[in-house]
Amino acid sequence: MGLGPKRRLQALDNINLEIRRGEILGLVGESGSGKSTLGRTVVGLTAPTEGQIKFVSSNDTSELRSKRFGAQMVFQNPYLSLNPRQKVKNIIGEPIEVHHIEGDVHQRVSELMAQVGLSPQFAERRPSEMSGGQAQRVGIARALALSPELIVCDEAISALDVSIQAQVLNLFSEIQEQTGCSYLFISHDLPVVERLSHRVAIMYLGRIVEVAETTDLFAHPRHPYTRALIGSAPRLEAKKLKFEPIKGEIPSPINPPIGCHFHPRCPLAIDRCRVERPALVASEAGHLAACHRAEEVVKLPHPNEAQ
Ligand code: SF4
Ligand code: MG
């Protein structure tokens, strides 16, 4: 992208991430953190230079990239990600035809449309003749067409009206119950991720800085960046509505800070943080965090109670 070899943008920094079968893994971070690049790497749209994405179940650990149709993606804006000249039936049927999936394409398209709650009349329409929520259902049906084991949703509801977001979230849950697929649910919307995800991974400047079961992560954050995200998320309870953006700008991924990437913004930074990169380390309960001071951080008052 116009960057010389010496200034190569390293959007992802040796990421190792496990996604369990049938789970919804939320992936959270500010824009520029590398979330979308990670999502694109998982579905094979971007080639990884190092690191790996593993699909994990009790009796099988396989690298997802080796699977032909293993992962599919649902993008943020259906009007941009769907071909505007094609009819819905062709958009959904295309991956089935391209990959020569056995069976009747029309029948399969009808089933997929029913699965995402689109009535048959939409088959002849184009995305521009549909609402945002309807068009996103087309994007979801297209992603489902190849029966993927994993669906990567990159801000897949953030362009939709708030009233439609809940419907599409419910659809994701229903699809998971029906098919047993997994999701990598990429979002900057912390309350949505908290509601939907089984586990959550927090990303900062191309690195995963914390991973835990959702309730554990929100109740006992072990990384100061996660604390800051939780403390700055808008909360709607009466009299508690507040929004405090995290101090400082997110640094450029072209020239990230040495040591802990978060140290210029971290209120708990010590000298060690400026020179030594913290490894992603598991607590006894299996809660991963990349912070030299995680054991102290987890004992601080909860970010919603602090101050
Ligand atoms: Fe802050 Fe240091 Fe932990 Fe980084 S390693 S998050 S700078 S305390
Ligand atoms: Mg993005």
Tokens of 43: 């579905």
Q: Which strands form 288-289's sheet, in the order they lie side by side? A: 71-74, 150-154, 182-187, 24-28, 199-204, 207-213, 288-289, 281-282
Delimit the domains of the chain by residue range: 24-197, 218-307
CA of 148 to the centre of ligand 2 (A): 22
Q: What does the alpha-carbon distance between residue 211 and residue 220 come to, in Å, rounded to a whole number?
A: 12
**Quick one: which ligand is closest to 266's CA?**
1
Q: Which atom of ligand 1 is nearest to the CA of 263?
A: 7
Picking from 77, 3, 73, 12, the residue whose alpha carbon sits closest to that of residue 44 is: 73
Which residues make beta-bridge pairs with 24?
183
Residues framing ligand 1 (Cβ under 6 A): 223-224, 260, 262-263, 266, 268-269, 273, 278, 291-293
ipTM metric: 0.97
Per-residue pLDDT at 242: 46
CA of 130 to the centre of ligand 1 (A): 47
Q: Which residues surround ligand 2, an ion (CB under 5 A)?
A: 36
Per-residue pLDDT at 307: 52
What are the b/e assignments for 166-201, b being 16+ CB within 10 Å? eebbebbeebbeeeebbbbbbbbbbebbbebbbbbb
Q: For the segment 3-35, what is each residue's pLDDT rounded down to a tens digit?
A: 334 444 556 777 778 888 889 999 998 888 888
CA of 273 to the centre of ligand 1 (A): 6
Domain 24-197 belongs to what architecture?
3-Layer(aba) Sandwich (3.40)
**Quick one: which ligand is closest to 39's CA?**
2
Q: Which atom of ligand 1 is nearest to the CA of 224?
A: 6
Tokens of 176: 């998971």
CA of 264 to the centre of ligand 1 (A): 9
- Chain centroid to CA 80: how far? 19
Per-residue pLDDT at 69: 62
Per-residue pLDDT at 99: 86
Greatest CA separation for the chain = 64
Picking from 132, 145, 164, the residue whose alpha carbon sits closest to that of residue 89 is: 145
* Residues of the chain under the 50 pLDDT cut: 1-8, 58-59, 65-67, 238-243
Picking from 151, 202, 201, the residue whose alpha carbon sits closest to that of residue 173 is: 151
**Quick one: which ligand is closest to 291's CA?**
1
